[in-house]
Structure 1
């Protein structure tokens, strides 16, 4: 039996970028503060200088180590080599808890956790989808294959942790009600996140911050900014902060839309630094689970326009004026409405005290710790 002292916790995920990486960093800080020993296994080829600096800052406090192994996003022949290396690495870390985040991390954590259990180790296998494979369409061959694998992997899972009610409902509709135990635990913010951030004097009108790929909607942001500029009769300004495979094509899109002189591209930076660069934060994602960036912007008292998708309405409320479809025309119209009366729009957003009560790192970590111990110490049958 594992008592409530120090656990050996290993977090496994592919890409050290975006919301998953933020989630894991916050969890690790709280888990270390609670006296647990923590380690990370993640991809060696993803991320730039910004992410490398964050990983470097974490390294000294990771008692179980920071291990990086090349992991592809898509399934391929190289997975066999990566899988063997990952298994050996995880085995050497001797975890009590193996927590996989995202599709690839979740597969590795549950598969290798099961192999460790077969060899006599008591390991609890946790999986947090964070959207991941749930974005696939069940009508496609790829989607059917992915969901079939997810169903099989349930037999190797001690807990599935959902970050929003929406994510849980999508899982149920596409895969079925989980046959293993599951829990809903919202992402949480630190007290520092709730310190207000003021925009710079020369701030642009709108900010996009996130990974530069289609799922996150940076192309929608550029088209909407161009449409709003035409409708307003003046050149509205924008800032894009992030990196990704679509960066070059997005820069070309800005040129083609005729707004390249009024939109600036920046490499990844801390969210609170980026918030100073514009008056309004825009999150035009096509799919999300429960994005940290929306929580971070609201906690920092920044005005937010965001897509009515995923778990975002659980943050803002279903009837929030901040919600739009991930559509350039609708987003452009909302941009103009918000700029016309920024004070009134701010007043319609959730109060920071309400957010603090519902989305707290301390609550998130405490609930997850309870699930860890429950999985390690199941009640007698």
Structure 2
């Protein structure tokens, strides 16, 4: 704990223990515990599989307020009432200083407690990770819920400037404080990855979903093959609800012989399966997979969506338009032809940029400063003990 940090009781509430949201919470909770705060997790029990089980079991001994898993479904359903009742009861019993909700469903459960009496009023923090804001079906309903729940929110904690602006445009001004702390990564991420001897030319790593632009990538590969000059291979690493849909697109494209659908695996292991990483997303907040690929020194093609420009900073002109197979195909061909020395110089510069600007410690410093600001509204003395925002 920093010398001027007051020890806090912190409960994180979130749904699926998968993807970037899960990494964000695990990094944040782990660092908070290392600083001497008492931390607990309330998380979905339906998703994540064995990988999530292992990660939660590993961090559990450090979570002094416990790790509780409850069945949380993505879409609204009647059973949400019973899950909310259990979460409310646990928060009543734990009497935390901070309840930090992540994602739409975590935000629903945690912030609804603000409409009910509690023996100790916690500061309620909300980090939207983008899901409901990018949702097409039921978008109006989700935004109506967000406006209602904003009334019980003390601090809106964003992971990118993009998401802060997106929230403001959809929800409008409110009474909650606002803080932006961009996602950070740690020393274990900065390991240079060398492609395996039989690596494909391209690799995609992430959720298997159309919103991630995987269909655009498949079509782009078909365009390249149709040109007759290059015949690159692609490895698609990951899992997701639309795997079968994407497998059908692969078959229809005629690219089955050049595309391998690999199962999920750790990012650094996955990066070794291809010479060039491709992140063709249609929507993002501030994607960890881009940070991780850059940290590993891998050449990267990425789309200009969400907070990707914030990651690339002075190199943002290397980003391309999303959802355009022809543009993506042209970028892939250009990457195949790029001089190795030039390519590595760009990779090294990006790696250094990320190392200087996207560290876990800095992320947590900023989030903790936001917590103390939120607490100061009801506990003015907390402001005197709060560290200054970096």
Name the TM-score, length of structure 1 as normaliser.
0.92
Question: What is aligned with 2:330?
Answer: 333
Structure 1 unaligned runs (5+)?
none
Give the aligned partner of residue 366 of structure 1.
365
State whether structure 2 residue 214 is matched by structure 1 residue 215: no
Q: 1:275 aligns with which of 253, 264, 271?
A: 271
Is there any run of 5+ residues in structure 2 with no aligned partner, and where? 382-390
User: Which of residues 221, 225, 231 is equivalent to 1:229?
Assistant: 225
* Offset from partner CA, 1:198-219 (integer Å, 9 cap, x none): 1111111111111112221222
Provide closer, same or farther for how the CA distance between residues 226 and 92 of structure 1 changes in structure 2, counting only shifts above 3 A: farther
- SS at 2:257 equivalent: helix
> Could you tell me which of 178, 186, 189 is aligned with 1:193?
189
Distance change (3 Å), C-alpha of 1:353 and 1:114 = farther
SS at match of 2:101: strand
How far apart, CA to CA, are the structure 1 residues paired with 2:50 and 2:228?
38
**C-alpha contact 1:5 1:35 (8 A) present in aligned 2:** no
CA deviation after TM superposition for structure 1 residue 61, in Å: 2.1
Correspondence list, 1:1-381, <5 A: 4-115=5-116, 118-136=117-135, 142-317=138-313, 319-341=316-338, 343=340, 344-349=342-347, 350-378=349-377, 379=380
Q: Partners in 2 of 1:254 and 1:20 — Cα distance?
A: 28
Structure 1 consecutive aligned stretches of length 4 or more whose deviation exceeds 4 Å = none
Q: CA deviation at 1:53?
A: 2.3
Contact 1:232–1:336 (Cα < 8 Å) also in 2:
no
The TM-score with structure 2 as length reference comes to 0.90
Secondary structure of 1:171's aligned partner = helix
Distance in 1 separating the partners of 2:141 and 2:206: 29
CA contact (8 A) 1:197 1:301 kept: yes
Shift of 1:293: 0.6
Aligned length: 374
